[in-house]
Amino acid sequence: MQLSSRVEKICANLFLLMLTIFFMLVIGEVLLKCFLFHPSYNLVASQVLNGHGSELKVELIPDNLYEIQPNKKLGINKYGFRDDDFSTQRNSRKRIIFLGDSYVMGLNVKSEETMPKALEKLLKNYEVYNMGVVGFGPDQELNVLNKYGFQFKPDLVIQAICSINDSGDIYEDQIFTTGDHDELVVTDTNPVKSMVYPSFFTTVNAINFLRHRDKIVRTLDPLLFGDGFDLSWIKYMDSDEAKYKISLMKAIFLKMRDDIKARNINFISIIIPSYNAICDDAFFKENHISQEKYFTNEEVYQYILDTEKIPNINLAPYFMQLNKEDRCALYDAQNAHLSPLGNLFAAQIISIYMASHGLTGK
């Protein structure tokens, strides 16, 4: 009897110990998932934002690869965008959500000199929210629109296409693919999911990130922020990769268009031409690209937008109407992004388009 009672007591204690360990693991998992595990690192970009680019911190997230962390000193608001604080409350002014990458975020200009803020100054009855994020492509911008943009109840969404590498971004990001009927499908994995969130358990992911952080950052940083020119449409239009990029881009814009239309919001897409095609074609010459193909990327984007019946403005013809000295002044030659003058010129074209389509009235 004494032996049996002792065994029962030991078993009960073991059960309680195991139960305690289990609940501690569950609590630890919840704490890590909700509060503690935020894999992040500082950008290697000291030359931007007046020399403060390396203070930009990005948090790696599974669904949209990364977000910029708030930074009051650098003008990054609590949502991770380079703008003043956003308000869900509406005032007497209409509201524009402006999506894009570093061209919209304006890493080489002051915040008030960006395209969204230049447009806001021209449109007295609109406020414009700058939701441009360095390195983003239309796939991530679609997610931003659904995660953040719609909650601010915009009257108009403007999305800016970077003709240089947006096609390459959506291909490398692997956030979406196309289904059997060319519809947009969320992939099971992407570079951040596979490297930072490979396991269902946050505890495992946290340990993995701590152990391999430097290797992960070295691999992901050039993938997420590399801004090389995508030549697949210019040089290899008949390749499977080039055709897939067109199919995927169509699916992304179709989803963006339908999500916006379902909320009775107006939509315009802006095609920003490359510095190479507008001002300095040395890169094209080095890659043996004939002059008639300089604007291939811009033309493919316009074809996609026209096919999906999305109102669009291709800035290339407007830029090319200027003499070379004036059109080169639209860019910052050091980083090939739009200069303050280029942002203002683009904003003027957008405002004229809006006026001609009845979008500037009260």
Domain borders along the chain are 1-36, 83-356
Asked whether the beta carbons of 346 and 106 are under 8 A apart, the reply is no
Say whether pLDDT at 96 is over 70: yes
Domain 83-356 matching CATH 3.40.50.1110: the answer reads yes
| Amino acid at position 178, single letter | T
All residues at 6 or more sequence positions from 1 whose CB lies less than 8 Å from its CB, including other chains: none
Query: Are β-strands 65-68 and 57-61 bridged in parallel, bridged antiparallel, or unpaired?
Result: antiparallel
Residue 69 three-state SS = coil
What pLDDT, in 10s, does the model give residues 112-153? 999 999 999 999 899 999 999 999 999 999 999 999 999 999
What pLDDT, in 10s, does the model give residues 50-83? 788 889 999 999 999 999 999 999 999 999 999 9
Give ∠ CA 243-185-238 in degrees, rounded to 5.
5
Mean pLDDT, residues 158-182 taken together: 96
Q: What is the band of 26 on the pLDDT scale with cuts at 50, 70, 90?
A: low
**CA proximity to 335, closest of 106, 170, 136, 140:** 106
Say whether pLDDT at 28 is over 70: no
Which residues make beta-bridge pairs with 186?
Answer: 176
Q: How far apart are the first and last CA of the chain?
A: 89
